[in-house]
Amino acid sequence: MAYNFDPTVLREYDIRGIIGETLGPDDARAIARGFGTLLVRDLGETKKPKVAVGYDGRVSSPMLEHALIEGLTSSGCDVRRIGMGATPMLYYAEASSEEVDGGIQITGSHNPANYNGFKMVFRGRPFFGADIQLIGRMAAEGDWLDGSGTVESVDIIDAYIDRMLTALDGIDPAALSSLKVGWDAGNGAAGPALEKLAARLPGEHHLLFTEVDGNFPNHHPDPTVEANLADLRQLVAEKSCDFGIAFDGDGDRIGAIDGEGRVIWGDQLLMIYAEDLLAKLPNSTIIADVKASRALFDHVEKHGGQAIMWKTGHSLIKSKMKEVSSPLAGEMSGHVFFADTYYGFDDALYAGIRLLAASARLGKSVTQLRSDMPQMLNTPEMRFQVDESRKFAAIDEVKARLTGDDVPAGVEVNDTDGVRVNTPDGWWLLRASNTQDVLVARAESETEDGLARLMEQIDAQLELSGLERGKSVGH
């Protein structure tokens, strides 16, 4: 029987929609039928597929879980239910068990409360892009296998906490005993795991909003928006914490502030993690997305690593890590991936523990590590609306103009993902979002005048393509 999804639901990195408008139980069932069919065909006669299923704290998640399990079992897959938890706990359920062949997390991530969606892992690799489009074509053709499967419920949270705590192996607990850390779960799905984790960590830990509430009554769970860190900043100040850590709605993205309340952005966190990792794994390849500061790439090379600038998108970064055997990667958005002594997926709880560990091993407070960084001037990520039919074409036009014969001296263009332009003043970036009808811009310089000139270049290029920055829009 054929099924058609709303055209806005099948995204580049995940599947996402508005409950009751573009996403509901029938969509969950169809997604599961397609995913399950692909697994059965991929494994052939070797074994019956087993799929781990988890969900976040959104009000609609249990309803979608029921339909998803129905779709998986009716396609011939067995299901391992791990219940409500952070997305990385689902990734752990898939990565840590040889019995499990795939995983699906029901999550709306950091989107508004009326959104929900799915993140998927297929036999150890990210399931995205062409995979997601294939699910859509299979549904439209009714190309699904029929079968039957069993369902088991497994509580893995304690094993997950045990595994994360191995990040502190080899560190003298005395070096951590005087630490004071603030944590903000934002009423997201990481709350219960954070409570268990903090109870077992050395030092003093102060927790905010660990009660899971899909309506997010305190603040929106997106730690890349500075306004959402206000409660954490207040906690760090009141309790004289050494630093603070915040999570997004499904616990795969980290945000942080130091003891003085300064934000430590995604690329700055990666500088700390890279310095720590390169001390024990010299010459490692470390990946960051095109939005990251030049200071990060310089820092990696200064500490004996090889830096790769790559495309934005957690699935794209994870795939590149496997390709080049990178032990560490990260994005400005707060996705950080550790594959040195962990599984290579993005886990904000684990990233939080690694920040404690890095500070202890480097012998410096997080505040000192933040203070030691170059004081670059950069814009926040600017996102502005552009017609879907124009977004990629406009980037191609900019690229063509800047790689022609009359490019100014000292200008270099990196077209890994959009257009990142290096000039004597610093760099600026224009790229098309893969998930929205927006262009994304960012610029960085060492001086205010330099930053202003970079912004003028962005505006000039947009004008030549009949566009303007206009009012910035949200995620």
The catalytic residue positions are 109
Produce one character per residue of 439-465: b if its CB has 16 or more CB atoms within 10 Å, e if not: bbbbbbbeeeebbebbbebbeebbeeb
- Residues facing 81 on adjacent strands: 53, 153
HSE, side-chain direction, 13 A CA sphere, residue 175: 15
Q: Rounded to an integer, what distance in angstroms lies between the CA atom of residue 233 and that of residue 266?
A: 17
Give the ranges where 250-387 is alpha helix by DSSP (H): 266-280, 294-302, 314-324, 348-362, 366-371
For residue 362, report the phi and psi dihedrals to the nearest 5 degrees: -80, -10
Q: Which residue has the tokens 């410096």?
A: 364
For residue 132, report the phi and psi dihedrals to the nearest 5 degrees: -70, -40
109 Cβ contact list (under 8 Å, min separation 6): 14, 16, 56, 87, 117, 119, 248, 249, 250, 252, 253
Tell the burial category of 21 from Cβ atoms under 10 Å away from its Cβ (0-12, 13-18, 19+).
exposed
DSSP 283: T
Q: By the 8 A CB rule, do 169 and 193 touch?
A: no
Q: By the 8 A CB rule, do 257 and 232 touch?
A: yes
CA 355 to chain CA centroid, Å, is: 17
**Long-range pairs of 402-407 with CB within 8 A, sequence gap ≥ 24:** 402/461
- Residues facing 275 on adjacent strands: none
Q: Rounded to an integer, what distance in angstroms lies between the CA atom of residue 330 and that of residue 339?
A: 11
Tell the burial category of 152 from Cβ atoms under 10 Å away from its Cβ (0-12, 13-18, 19+).
exposed
